[in-house]
Amino acid sequence: MDLRTTPPNPQRRLIFNESTSLTEQVAVLSATRVVLHTLYRMVYPFLSVFSRGLGVDLAQLSVVLTFRSLMGFLAPFLATIADRYGRKISMLLGLGLVVLATSAIWIFPSFPVFFGGLMLSMLGNLMFIPAMQAFIGDRVAYEKRGMVLGITELSWAAAFIATVPFVGWLMARSHPDKAWLVPFPVIAVAGTFCLILIAWRVPNNRSQIQVQGNGIATVRKMLGITSVLAGLGFAISVSAANEVVNLVFGVWLEDRFALKLAALGAASAIIGISELGGEGLSALLADRLGKEVAITLGLITSAVATFILYFFSGSVTGALTGLFFFYLGFEFTLVSSLPLMSEVFPAARATVMALTIACFSLGRAVGAMLAPWLYNLGFLFNLIAAILLIATGYFLLKHIHPAGQDDLDARNGELIHPGV
């Protein structure tokens, strides 16, 4: 494989505050991510609506969602499209698949089409998000990148707080047999509108560092770099730490307080607010503090929250306070890590971001497998596991370093990086 590099031109690396057009592009991309995240997140709170409308049981829907999650492991190979052919092309292809998938479900409403449509939309999602993150990495200086990526990540919480409830409002005003179908034409139209805006407003620029070689060769090359491996291990550890608590917190609240509806309703609100707070704080602070310092602060916040969950969980207020800071710390850590990972291997930035996303998914899977077993031993063991995984993430963080100008060496046409 030949990874050829073009020395970055400082005049072409734009800073957010210096470009009105870039501000508009970030707004368009953030709005598009709200649409994508609405499609992804709306299934969970309305599982029963989809179950009744499609005429299938919850177990069958669970299989669909499991397959959709497993598709995350295709992300690194799909992202090579953005690295080889351009960010805009990958974003348009990905969003086009989402529009095609939602339109197919709308026009041909059936369980097989629903299954295939969710898989196709996930492929589109996996093509769009790493390409978008790489586009920002190409266009925004590293010193400002935390703010810009943080702004785009607000879309995750925005979907949960605003657009998913809007989907519920639409469903409630539809015929019960057709309620499950209502969101898909709305998302298809919104996706088409975003696709037109991206085609019109987002430039078709290429990465300043060009990659040659197939996707498998690119991934293999990156897995030989210490910073990339440490970053991927970090993603697995941190997301597993979150999931060992996330999967069982509802059961724990129900078992401990016998306030199922009130406690779980409050917990859902806490999650949405803490996600929004973590993403917003990362946008404000990651660049000012430095990415590594910000990530460390997020890890410490989550670690302290586990102690709150144990020592101050005698009341619902104490338990929800602990959960708030736990999720706040995780979201702050996750979003602050994105600009750092976007700079560890600039020659294949989209592929690195896709690998990171895949490892966050793998970490969630690991945490989901551990959580019930640990909970059978007692919720304390979930908290201990979370602490140990957070500590592992902190250790790996010390081995993640952004590539500097001195790391770009044209020797033999390859990217030379610390740790190779």
Closest CA to 320 of 385, 265, 359: 265
Indicate if 242 and 349 belong to the same structural domain: yes
pLDDT given at position 262: 53
Q: State the chain's mean pLDDT as an integer.
A: 84
| Averaged pLDDT, 344-349 | 85
- Calpha distance 416→409 (Å, rounded): 6
Residue 300 main-chain phi, psi, to 5 deg: -65, -40
The answer for residues whose C-beta is within 8 angstroms of residue 327's C-beta and 6 or more apart is 242, 270, 271, 274, 275, 278
384, pLDDT greater than 70 = yes
Answer yes or no: do 163 and 223 share one domain.
no
What is the pTM assigned to this prediction?
0.79
Can you give the pLDDT at residue 13?
A: 47
Lowest mean pLDDT among 110-114, 251-255, 406-410: 406-410
Residues 259 and 403 in one domain: yes
Domain boundary among 145, 167, 201: 201
- CATH number of domain containing 239: 1.20.1250.20
Tell me if 103 is assigned to some domain: yes
Q: What is the 8-class DSSP label of residue 416?
A: -
Q: The domain containing residue 54 runs over which residues?
A: 16-201
Distance, CA of 145 to CA of 16 (rounded, Å): 8
Q: What is the DSSP string of 256-322?
A: HH--HHHHHHHHHHHHHHHHHHHHHHHHHHHHHH-HHHHHHHHHHHHHHHHHHHHHSTTSHHHHHHH
pLDDT > 80? residue 220? no
> Is the residue at 340 inside a domain?
yes
User: Same domain for 135 and 281?
Assistant: no
Specify the amino acid at residue 15.
I
Question: Who has greater pLDDT, 328 or 350?
Answer: 328
Tell me the backbone φ, ψ of residue 329, rounded to 5 degrees: -65, -40
In a domain, 5, yes or no: no
- Does some domain include residue 10? no
Residue 299 lies in a domain: yes
Round the CA-based radius of gyration of the chain to a whole number and report it. 21
* Number of neighbouring beta carbons within 10 Å of residue 239: 25
Note the pLDDT tens digit of each residue in 299-331: 999 999 999 999 988 888 888 899 999 999 999
Distance (Å, rounded) from C-alpha 235 to C-alpha 127?
Answer: 19
CB atoms within 10 A of CB 70: 13
CB-count exposure of residue 117 (10 Å: 0-12, 13-18, 19+): buried
Same domain, 250 and 196: no
Identify the pLDDT of residue 394: 97
In the prediction, which pLDDT does 58 show? 77
Q: Within this chain, do residues 249 and 394 fall inside the same structural domain, yes or no?
A: yes
User: Do 175 and 247 fall into the same domain?
Assistant: no
DSSP string, 219-244: HHHHTT-HHHHHHHHHHHHHHHHHHH
- How many residues in total does the chain contain? 420
Do 165 and 237 sit in the same domain of this protein? no
Helix, strand, or coil here: 402? coil
The pLDDT of residue 3 is: 36
Q: Report whether 188 contacts 103 (CB < 8 A).
A: yes
- What pLDDT shows up at residue 14? 45
Q: What is the pLDDT of residue 210?
A: 54
235 and 381 belong to one structural domain: yes
Asked if 211 and 83 touch (Cβ cutoff 8 Å), the reply is yes
The domain boundary, picked from 172, 201, 230, lies at 201
Answer whether residue 213 is part of any domain. Answer: no
- d(Cα 208, Cα 4) in Å, to the nearest integer? 10
Q: Read off the pLDDT of each residue in 238-263 and give the average, rounded to a whole number.
A: 79
Identify the domain boundary among 201, 229, 244.
Answer: 201
Helix then strand then coil, in percent of the chain rounded to 5, is 80, 0, 20
Res 417: pLDDT: 42
How confident is the model at residue 108, as a pLDDT? Answer: 96
**pLDDT value, residue 85:** 85
H-helix segments, 342-413: 349-377, 379-397
54-73 residue pLDDT tens: 998 877 887 888 788 888 88
Q: Which pairs count as long-range contacts for 262-269, CB under 8 Å and 24+ apart, including other chains?
A: 262/316, 263/316, 263/319, 263/320, 266/316, 266/320, 267/320, 267/323
Same structural domain for residues 31 and 161?
Answer: yes
Question: Would residue 387 count as lying in a domain?
Answer: yes
The reply to whether 151 and 283 lie within a common domain is no
In this predicted structure, the answer to whether residue 22 has a pLDDT above a threshold of 90 is no
CB 279 within 8 Å of CB 331: yes
Owner of token pair 């095609």: 100
The per-residue pLDDT for range 1-20, each reduced to its tens digit, is: 333 333 344 444 444 444 44
Higher per-residue confidence, 233 vs 255: 233
Is 173 in the same domain as 314? no
Give the C-alpha separation, 299 to 246, whole Å: 16
The number of distinct structural domains making up the chain is 2
Predicted local distance difference test score (pLDDT) of residue 47:
79
Number of H helices, E strands in the chain: 17, 0
Average pLDDT over residues 85-98: 94
pLDDT, residue 313, reads 80
